Structure formats: structure tokens, C-alpha cells
Structure 1
């Protein structure tokens, strides 16, 4: 199987078909969202991503690399990932980070999820909603998380 090629996209597509009831985001929509979230004015630290074939949530740090081929994004720590593998993404209201010194509590950055949602709403119809945790963007509807 070729790495980061058509075969991998087809394999992810089969996993999505097996696990998802509906797909709500296309590769193009995801790229528009990541392009917006990469803007420096948002000052985003990270988002939380749930991939279709992984049970646990993953932290994904900004900026996200958009120079890879259209159906992919390059994520620090993960490498290129197919956009269609994203089950959902959450931009947290409060991003916590380590301050670097032992015994010093984590720092917190408030992220303006309402303003980000308004910016994304300007693109058209996107599956976004504000939750207690932050701004949720649904890629696929699955049994574990339905809209």
C-alpha cells in the first residue's frame, strides 16, 4: 500500500463507510475550516480531534500545514492525515498549556469560539455547534457521537 496515496484514501473511505451513518464535511470544507483556524488573529493553541478509526481524542496544535495535496493536511506530531479521517473536531473554550516549571500550575488561554463560529458560518452551511466544551465541528455522524 502506498503511503499518503490513493490506496490510503480508499482504505479510510471504507472505514468511514463502515462506521459512519452520514458524512457532513468534504475535504474542501475541512481545508476552509483549517485555513480560517490558522489565521494568527485567533491565536489558537490547539484543537481536539477525534479520528474515525481511533478511540481516544488527540490534541492537534496550530498551525496546521495546508501545503500537502488537497485531501490531506500536515499535522505536527502526526504527519500528513487524510481530512476524511476526522470524525469531529473541537476548538476548546479554554486551552490549557504547561508553563515549563515543575510545581507551577498549567496556564489557560481563552479562545473566542463564538467569533470563530461566526467566521465559519460566513462560508455557508457547516455542521458547527457551540457546546459547553467549545466549538464542535462534525465530520461524520457515528454511533458514538450523533449530532
Structure 2
């Protein structure tokens, strides 16, 4: 997909449409924690950050910062 084909907005439930260039960064944790009701412990789901990083790097659109705990995709730098 060419960059000019990308929609410049993302629709969010809480804030409505937001321009992509207004998003400073997006952080994906190595382990996603999904809360559950009735005092049931959170469900922990490991995420394959290496695979995600490789796919994002192949696009080459955004800088990527990696740590042991997360992968940060930098969308807009001030």
C-alpha cells in the first residue's frame, strides 16, 4: 500500500477522529493483560514483538524503539 493511499485519520471510541500525525507514539506490551470481572486474575497473553517489529520494519514508515517490556512505534516527534 502506498503512503498516499493511507487515510490520514483514525477513528477512536473515546475521542472521535484523530489525525495520525497527532499520535506521538503507540506502545505494544510484550504481555497484554486483559482484565476480567469478579476478582478473576487478569488474562496474560504474550505477544510476538520480534515478528511485529520485523513486519513494521519492512514497511519503513515509522521509527521503532524496542525494550524487553514493549515495542514503541513513534508516529510523530515534536
**What is the TM-score normalised by the length of structure 1?**
0.45
Q: Cα offset for 1:121?
A: 1.1
SS state of the match for residue 115, structure 1?
Answer: helix
The structure 2 residue matched to 1:91, chosen from 9, 23, 28, is 28
Q: Cα offset for 1:132?
A: 2.7
Q: Give the structure with the higher percent strand.
A: 2
The structure 1 residue matched to 2:58, chosen from 122, 127, 130, is 122
Unmatched runs of 5 consecutive residues or more in structure 2 = none
In angstroms, what is the RMSD of aligned CA positions?
2.1
Q: Give the structure with the higher percent helix.
A: 1
Instruction: Tell me how many residue pairs correspond in the alignment.
Output: 75
SS state of the match for residue 90, structure 1?
Answer: strand
The structure 1 residue matched to 2:41, chosen from 60, 85, 105, is 105
**What is the TM-score normalised by the length of structure 2?**
0.78
Q: Indicate whether 1:71 and 2:8 are aligned.
A: yes
Cα distance in structure 1, aligned partners of 2:61 and 2:10: 22
Displaced runs of 4 or more, over 4 A: none
Unmatched runs of 5 consecutive residues or more in structure 1 = 1-27, 32-69, 143-147
